[in-house]
Homo-oligomer: A and B are copies of this chain.
């Protein structure tokens, strides 16, 4: 039961369309037309209205307009963690692309917690946002489709089972396979992988890793596949310590993201081993950290700009026409070879 709290500010803000109309000696309707560029308007009237607008410092009330039109001009971007560089970099592109199309972006951090994601779901973007770009961690299938059935949604990440929803992703199996194959091609035989998880993305990267091993006729050694609770530097460090503490150490490590790789590299270097001479390291995501690490990090670079642009465009298209058939688009990626694998 707080005070209203707008007392001190409300007067300054309360310039309404009606005020402008009175000032310009026209009807609200006309002002609205001028503001939104609708009907043809007599030049004299127009300039009178425009003068009134600047004189009064009128700005349309987004809220009221939305209540009327049902559109806010804002899209939401729900990502697991703001301080994971991959998402931060992606977010930046999304903001840029959305702005180019006249939308503002509201960022939401889900933390990958099911509850938080589910809440996203329940409430959905409407009516505060026109649509949602969602990078789910814990949620899948039916949950998501229920959301998508109610409001415009574009998913980032794994392919949905049945294509009921717009989707932008990369070929995780292929990318992981390429990364591992690169390591093998440079003469490594004991290639470890860090980042195994129940989550789909991780599973696909594990699959790619195994496939590359099989391609090269190298037997899969379960001891070399290490899990990670999350995809942070600390998890990579922990996993690497385990690998080093075991019997015969690996001569290469493929990490499921750059943060894991950076953590692992720190442990390798800290143990007095050399990268890439003793152990080569490859990451995934191509975050800026990796470029400036010593040694610089070889990594799989998904085309983030492409992902962002495609996601925003599909979402905006769907907002305009909800009947659009859902589409899955695959973003390109490339393997960037740097020092950590002997580049």
Interface residues of A (CB under 8 A from B): 2-10, 12-13, 59, 61-64, 66-67, 69-72, 81-83, 85, 88-89, 91-92, 95, 104-109, 122-124, 126-128, 130, 149-152, 233, 237, 262-263, 265-266, 269-270, 288-289, 291-294, 296, 319-323
Contact = CB atoms under 8 A, between A and B. Distances in A.
B67 A322 contact: no
B61 A63 contact: no
A126 B233 contact: no
Given A63-B63, A109-B92, A289-B289, A12 B150 contact: yes
Nearest to A263: B292
Contacts of A269: 294
Contacts of A151: 9, 13
A290 B69 CA distance: 48
B13 A127 contact: yes
The residue among A3, A85, A292, A294 with the most chain B CB atoms within 10 A of its own CB is A292
B69 A66 contact: no
Contact of A266 (B59, B63, B262, B293): B293
The residue among A13, A123, A294 with the most chain B CB atoms within 10 A of its own CB is A294
A13 B126 contact: yes
B95 A152 contact: no
B288 A322 contact: no
A289 to B, nearest CB: 5
A279 B71 CA distance: 57
A92 B83 contact: yes
B83 A88 contact: yes
Give how many copies assemble into the complex.
Answer: 2
A37 to B, nearest CB: 10
Nearest to A151: B9
Contact of A85 (B83, B124, B292): B83
Contact of A7 (B10, B91, B289, B322): B322
18 contacts: A3-B321, A9-B126, A9-B150, A9-B322, A12-B150, A13-B126, A13-B150, A59-B122, A61-B127, A64-B67, A92-B109, A104-B108, A263-B292, A266-B294, A269-B294, A293-B293, A293-B294, A294-B294
A302 to B, nearest CB: 15
A2 B9 CA distance: 35
A63 B67 contact: yes
A292 B92 contact: no
A264 to B, nearest CB: 10
A126 B10 CA distance: 10
